[in-house]
Structures are given as C-alpha cells and as structure tokens.
Amino acid sequence: MRRTALLVSAALLTGLLPLASAGAATGAEEPPPVPVDRFEGEVPFASQPAEGIFTWGGDSDDPPRLELAARDDAPEGDKVLSGTYDISGYGGFTHDFAANEPGHDWSAHQGIRFWWDGRNSGKRVNFEIKDGGANGEASELWTTSFTDEWTGWHQVEIPFTDFAYRTDYQPVGGIDQNLGLTDMWGYALTLPTGTPGTFAMDGVELYGKADPALTTKVLTGAAVYPVKEGGTAGVRISVATTGSAPLAEPVTVAYESAGGSAGAGTDYTPVKGEFTFPAGTASGATHTVSVPTLKDKAAEPAETIPLKLTVTGAKAPAETPQVVIDAHGLPYLDTGLPVKRRVADLLSRMSLEEKAGQMTQAERNAVGTGGDIAAYDLGSLLSGGGSTPTPNTAAAWAKMIDGFQLRAQATRFQIPLIYGVDAVHGHNNLVGATVLPHNIGIGATRDPGTAEKAGAVTAAEVRATGIPWDFAPCLCVTRDERWGRSYESFGEDPALVKQMETVVQGLQGARDGKDLDRDDKVLATAKHFVGDGGTEYGSSTTGSYTIDQGVTKVTRQELEAVHLAPFQEAVDRGVGTVMPSYSSLDIIGDDEGPVKMHADAAMINGVLKDRMGFDGFVISDWQAIDQLPGDYASDVRTSINAGLDMIMVPSAYKDFRTTLIDEVKAGRISEQRIDDAVSRILTQKFKLGLFEKPYADTSGAAAIGSAGHRAVARTAAAESQVLLKNAGGVLPLKKSQKVYVAGSNADDLGNQSGGWTVTWQGSSGKITDGTTVLEGMRKAAPGATISYSKDASAPTDGYDVGVVVVGETPYAEGIGDVGNGNDLELTPADQAAVDKVCGAMKCAVLIVSGRPQLIGDRLGDIDALVASWLPGTEGEGVADVLYGAKPFTGQLPVTWPKSQAQLPINVGDTSYDPQFPFGWGLTTLRTPPGGGTLTLKALALAAAAAQKTGSAQAGRAVVGKARLLVQQKVGQDITPAVAEPFADADHLLLSGRYADAVAKLTEAYRAA
C-alpha cells in the first residue's frame, strides 16, 4: 500500500514554519503536517555545518550503514532510508539542520511522527530531538523511545509531551532545560545493541496542533524557599508563554499548604486559596503567595512545608515548591564550637540514608534541575571535563551552583553540597579564565614560588564561581612519556614533584586548613594515589588505551622512593582530599599480583590513612569502582572497605546509594566505617565554611582572567621555556630582525593550551581568551617585520631568522596514549615547515607539546631548539624569552629521548643515552663562568658549605653555576658519559645534596 502526499521543498519548508507557528498562536485550526524528511535525496549524507544525515558510534564497527533505497512499498514517495547495524557499544544516526541557517520552529505542532518498518524484535529504539543552542551538535537533547513490536510498516506518533530532558552527560550541558520547540536542530535515533539488525524508515513529519501545555506554563521562582523560624516565605508564581506572547486564555492556580515535616498550626499558619491570570496577561506576570511560619523556641532540624499547586489552562510546575524552616539551635550550627564537636553532633543525628547520601557524588547533568539532591541527601556534585552551564560565564557558574546549594537546604540538616571541578591549570573549564601552563611546564620552571602563585590564581578564580573544591594537583611521577597524562605531571623525579607541591598552599592556604573558608581558597586533591605515572606500556585494559589505567609493577623500595614520596609531602602540607588512580599496583615479591588502586585497602587504609596520617577524605575517580572485579555490590563494599570515603558515580548515584545502604544493613560494611567516612567529609565542609556560606561569594569574580592573574601565567610561561640548543646565539631575537614565522602551533590558542581546556580533550583554535605565540611576538616587537605562513608556503627570501612553532594537538588521558592513534613524531606538515624554513635561513624551532617530541634527525639543521611545553593562554610569556625581555631559565623536567625505542628512560637509569638529559636547559640570564676544573673545585667547596649550613638558596646558586659551565663545554655532544652524571646532579640538587651535585657535574665536565 502506497501513501502519497503533497510535499514542499526544503527551501519552501523553511519559509512555511514561522507561518505555521503564527497560525497556532491565533487559535487557527489544526495545521497541516509539515515534512522533515522524505528520504528522496533532498537531504544528503553530510554533517555539520551543512544539513545532512550522518552516522556515529562507540567504535569503528558501531555506526550503522545507511542508504536511500527504492522500494515499491514505500509509505511516502519512492525511496526509504534503509540500514543495517551490528552494534557492540552504541551507535545510530542523526539528521542535523544546517548550522549556518536559522533553527526550525516546531512549536505549532503536537508532535513528530514517522513510518517504521517493524521486525517485531521487541527491541527498544531511542529517539531524540535537538532543542536550542548554537546548532545540532551544541543543543539540548530531549529523548524518548519506542519498541519494535510489530511487523511491516507502522506510523509511530510521538507527542512532544513524551520527550524528557536527557539527564546524563551532554556535549554542551544544559541551555535552559526547557523544550521551547522554537529553535529546533533535528533528530537522532540510537539503535539496539547486541545483535545484528536491519531497519527502514520513511516520511518524518510534524503533525497535529500544539498542546497548550507546551506553549503556556506556570513556573515558581524557586523550588525551595528557606526561611528562618518565625519569618514569612514569599512563594513567587509566574506564567510564561512560548515566544513571550500574552495569554490567549485565562490560567487559574489553586494553592494549599499541605504535607511536609512541619506541623500546621504549630510550625506555620496554613494557607489556601486561588488566583487567576486573565487572558491577555503578559508573559512573565507574577503572583506571590505568603506562607507565615511560627516560633516554638525549640532547637530543631529543618522542616518542610510543600505548597501544592493545581493549575488549569497551562502546564503546571514540574515540582511542588517547598518552604523550608531553617534548622536552628542545634550544636553543629554553633560556629563557636570546635569543628570536631560540630562534626560529632551532626553525625550523631544523621540516619544511615543521610550518611550514605553524603558519600555519594553525582555529575551536574545527571541531577537535572536538582530535585534529587534533597530526595537522596546527596553530599556532592561535580562538573566533568567540559560540563559547563550555558552560557559558560562566571555568573552562570555561580548561579548554577547556587541553585544546587538551594536544593540542599530542603534536607533535614541542610548539609551543604561540596562541588568539585577539574581545574588542573587554572579554572580551565571556564571560557575567559586564566589558563596557566600545564604541570609539566610548571616543573620546568624549577620555581616553587611560581607553582604556589599558579595555585593561588587557580583557587581565586575557581572559588569566585562558587566552587570550593579542585581535583588538583596531580602528583604523578611520569616515568614513560608515551602516557597520555604526561603533561599533568611536574616531572619524572619525585624530588622535583615534591618541590612543586607548594601548589597545595597556593590552592588551600595554611597547612592547618584555617584559610579554607576564604573566598580565594579551595580544597585541593592529591591525585592519583598511587603510581599512575609508572604504568607499563601495553598493560592497560581500558578500551584502546595502551598505558593509561594500566599496571604499575615496582619493587616496594621503588614504590616508596618514587611514587609514595610525593603523597607524604602532600599529607604533610595538609591536602584535604586524595583521589586513587584507575591503575593497578603490582608490588614485586608480594605474590599478590596486580591490585586495582580503588580496591587496595593496604595502600589506602594502611599507608595513606594510618601510616601517613592523612585526615582528609578519599574521593574515587569517575566511575572507577565499576572497573573492580565482581558485581556492583562487590564493587561498592570493596571500595568503601578499602578506605574510599566518597564515590564519584556520575549518573548511577541512586544505585550506588541504595547498594551502600543495603551492604551496611547486611553487615558487609560496618557502621564504624561509614561514620569515619562521613566525619572526614563533614570536617572539610565545616573547614570550608560551607555551613555558614553555602552560596557563591562572587566578590572576586572581577579578577577572573584579569591582568594581574594573566601576569602570573605570563611569568610562568616564560619560566617554563627550556632552551635546548642555541647555536650562534640565534636567541634572543632582535627587534630589528625580519622574522619569518611558520608552524601549526604558532597561532593556535587551543593547541598551546592543550587538553583539559574548556573541554575534557581540549581542541584547536580560539577556544577562549588569550594570546597566541605569534600575537605575543608581534606585541613584543611592534615595529618589526614579522610575517606568518602556517605551512611555510609563502616565499622565504629576505628574512633574517625563522621561528617555527610545531608540536602536538590537544588530548587528555588515555586518548593521548602513544599507540592509541598518537606517536612522538612531528606531523608531516610540521616536518615540512621545519625543513623549509631551517633550510632557507637561521631558525629557532619551538615545540609546543605535553611531552618530548623526536627531533634528533633534524637537530643538525636547527640552530635553536626550545621545549615550550603547553604554555597556556599567555603567549606573551613565550615571546618575552624569544625577544630577551626575560631570560631563558627553564630546565627539562623529563628526559628527552632520542627514539621511542628508548622509552621508558629516566634519570637514574643504568643505561642512559638521551638526546637531552633530565635538568638540561641553556640560559640567557648570565654568561657561564670560566676557569674549567679550577672553578669547579671552588664551587665544590662552596656547595659543601651550603649543604652543611642548609642554605638552599646558596646551594642552588652554586650548583647552577657549575651546570652552566658543563653545558657550555658539552655543547651538543651529549654522550652517555656526560648525560648520566649530569642528570644525576640535578636529582641531587633537588634533594638538597649540593656538594654531591657539583661532584657529578665535575664528572660530566671531565667526560665531555
């Protein structure tokens, strides 16, 4: 049976849609169906920004195969969309409208329908529509589903009222979580998994007349109205229409205070009544209902008064607003009591369910508007990487978090949330924030003061948006640069990592936590405990990762000296939280084999908490307990009994909390363990001052991305630049020189910022505010001739010097592992740019990357080589050293290899033959001293004196002079006999053994 219809072209459709909407607004008859997809070829297979149909999936095998197939039984026209699939993870297809055209208006219609050729499989198919935002890939996703439970063609009709906002992780986060239908960007289908299948689809169209509940709704000013006992709450009730049109029909609201934990007549005066918004009322009109509360002079927990609303003529609010009489008179609310007593009092009042909620952390998108915060007594929320409010502004962050904190006020004890975010090099999720160099660059500065200032800038900008908790710093000791998280480490030497842990004080302030309630400090997180930087290549079992989340196999001595030492330093510095690693630990000789760190009670309870004396709380990594062997109940009890206090369960918070309660009731987790965990969490909340000030203090918001903060980042970027080679004194540049700039990373803010910038993986381009290296150079030498050709295709004649900025594009975690689509080689385009420019003139090559790049085959043709790492948004810092406004002083925080086959290669290895050794770094600060071995002898005496008196400043200065003397003699002739003692000397310097360091440098000098 064929069905034919008069259909308009795509161009005519765009013009018709606003007319259909206007007709609905004036009460016209049901509008005719409007086609979205005919599948006759009018919509191509294409993706953004063009209009088109495209497939997607979890891996290369998951996207379905589609074709426009001619069929005699097509319900509409001659062709249908036909496809086959065999999906193991997830997969489906999307129709996106063109991003460079206006979104479509579907608000005149009741819903969307289409023909589906059923196979009676009983499988569920998810159907999504895309609402609001910039385009189809930056919109809200609203979802529903249908079940394939028939054979042959069947028209599936889905009213728009059936769609629900997707509460799991979305690409851009919530826009307004309101299905407006006036700015639509298409639809998507997610196909069944597990078994191969086929499908056919035809005739997607809009049908019916809009449901009034979709165009007119009653809203409340807030879901929760806290009020002090004896005060009066004013519940604001407003009416809103799509397009802000006046009401076409009257809307009546009846209200009544009923239910809740407060007593009518004793705790509050009951209210009941009705009011009407007449036809013609402006959208946004508000009526306030007053709810008076009464004083009874008794100390009490918070009590709730729901105000039930019955709406006629519009869609009612999604939930019943609640007036909450604040908790009062209880000891835990007394700021004059010590924190320990406040914690003990509050803990003694809490139920098991409330305690379990405090141990649960959900992702912001999963809780939607936040109703579950009170329903499940949630203790914490987080933003995953790139999970941001829309718009992504400081004010929107503060408003969002305040909204979540307001929800927590509806719980019995009004325990505030602790909100966490990965601010690993500045408030990197926020557009416009100051983005500092990644840790690898901070390690290159060798400057603990810079590390502390970087932490202070980060803390101030994070706290000014209402966030009191930062999942940083990473104290990993990176031992293999094939690891995709290498740039999150300060370096390969634990002594260097320990030296940079001044960042903890920058974030938290005083070691005793007394500064945590300040508006410019946040709770820090030492991660990832323990050994994540030592995982063996090929040991990962996570997807296509090769090294991240793998196995660290070490002797107990290596574990203590390399991986545990930085955590002891963090504990001594008072770090408030610790996050275990996804990776496993295999201690050679204990015969236990690899143990997942989230299950390692010996390390978390035994070493971290008992031996090291850590008194903060342990937070899991993202869904990390799901990687433990066994069923979910086993995952929960194993991790909690191992010493984890709070579990990051982004969307599984209900299951986790229920399972945790069941495990305690069954006696498999002790109540003592629960009380210990909750006490640790509450202690930090009290120290942060959240009970007194749960909402955002935005007084410091003006400093976000300020000149002062950017100056700190600029200095850090300058100090992080490591001058590896400088033949003929090419650097610093002279402002009188004509400079030819090339390379993929010379003018790319996203590339120089790296991963964990605005989004989890980061991205290329102008993704935030800042200055590229090229822009920095032009500011440093405003009158100079500085030409730019990204691919070096422009003529090279007539220039004095070339600057080629090359390296990596952004990545994060295992996505960046070597072997997972990545290597340590420059791209062919970057290689060609280096070859062309350095073949035509004197040149300096800057490598912008999160780890060393293999450059040895071109080193002879390069005059100057700089390891720029990932300098962040302040490219002027790089330009400062290029033009000599500041000297090069950086040193390698990791060994620079000659080949990938050498990896792993680290200071202290018995076989050590790198391109550049750990600690290498030429300087333009001062001229190396002369005098050779005689000078070294004198420096040795001075170093011994500094070591004896414990004078760190004098000791570093003496060793620094000896290092420069050695580097001058060695030049580029870095043999193993030179490299090994040179690197050892830097380790000894970091360890405070200045005399031994000079002795090693003397050995390197003699070998040169």
Q: Which residue is it, tokens 């302030």?
A: 509
Dihedral Cα 325, 330, 336, 337, nearest 10 deg: -140
- Three-state helix/strand/coil letters over 800-865: CEEEEEEECCCCCHHHHCECCCECCECCHHHHHHHHHHHHHCEEEEEEECCCCCECHHHHHHCCEE
The two tokens of residue 234 are 């004013």
Spatial distance between the Cα atoms of 424 and 148, rounded to a whole number of angstroms:
46
Residue 999 CA to residue 959 CA, distance in Å, equals 10
Structure tokens at 248: 């076409």
Question: Whole-angstrom Cα distance, residue 265 to residue 270?
Answer: 7
Q: Which amino acid is at 309?
A: L
Q: How far apart are CA 875 and CA 889, in angstroms?
A: 17
Other CB atoms within a 10 A radius of the CB of residue 624 amount to: 25
Distance CA 200, CA 117 (A): 5
- What SS3 class is residue 557? helix
DSSP 162: G
Q: In this structure, what token pair is assigned to residue 254?
A: 């009846």
* CA angle centred on 84, ends 82 and 88, rounded to 5°: 145
**Burial level of 258, CB count in 10 A (0-12/13-18/19+)?**
middle
Q: How far apart are CA 561 and CA 565, in angstroms?
A: 6
End-to-end CA distance of the chain: give it in Å, rounded. 89
Catalytic positions, please? Answer: 621, 813
Task: Indicate the SS3 state at residue 46.
Answer: coil
CA angle 168, 170, 176 (to 5 degrees): 100
Residue ranges of E strands in 296-372: 303-312, 322-325, 360-363
Q: What are residue 865's DSSP bridge partners?
A: 725, 845
Largest interatomic CA distance in the chain: 101
- CA dist., res. 449 & res. 860, Å (int): 36
Positive/negative CA dihedral, 373, 379, 384, 386? positive
Q: How far apart are CA 575 and CA 608, in angstroms?
A: 12
